[in-house]
Amino acid sequence: MSLLSVLFQTSSHVGLQIGPQYDPLFYDVMIYIFGTMLFAVFLLSVIAFWLRRKGLGGQSAKEKWTQELEKYFQTEQIGMIPDEKHHW
């Protein structure tokens, strides 16, 4: 029963902000918190996009990995048709 009364009191406190007992500080703080969260999400998405495009080392990590793998396949002649080095 006390949980229900606590919920009712908090909802009435929030509901009273849209009336004659308007507290501007309440809205200011809520807007600042919400704006900070939106800015943090935006900043993290920009950082994630940058890391996906450029990677940590300047060149994309995926491109480096595929280039190294391609170089290894060339030297070992893996996947070449006909395979001149390996006769199985």
Residue 3 maps to a domain: no
The domain in which residue 38 lies consists of 21-76
Alpha carbons 62 and 46: distance in angstroms, whole number:
19
Residues with Cβ within 8 Å of 83's Cβ and at least 6 positions away in sequence, in order, are 77
Residue 87 maps to a domain: no
Six token digits for residue 2: 């006390």
CA-to-CA separations, 85 to 61, 72, 79, in angstroms, rounded: 30, 14, 11
Residue 11 maps to a domain: no
Average pLDDT of the segment spanning 35-46 = 96
pLDDT at 88 over 70: no
Six token digits for residue 51: 């890391």
pLDDT at 74: 83
pLDDT at 13 over 70: no
For 43-79, the pLDDT digits (tens) are: 999 999 888 877 676 666 566 777 888 888 888 877 6
Residue 81 pLDDT grade (very low, low, confident, very high; cuts 50, 70, 90): low
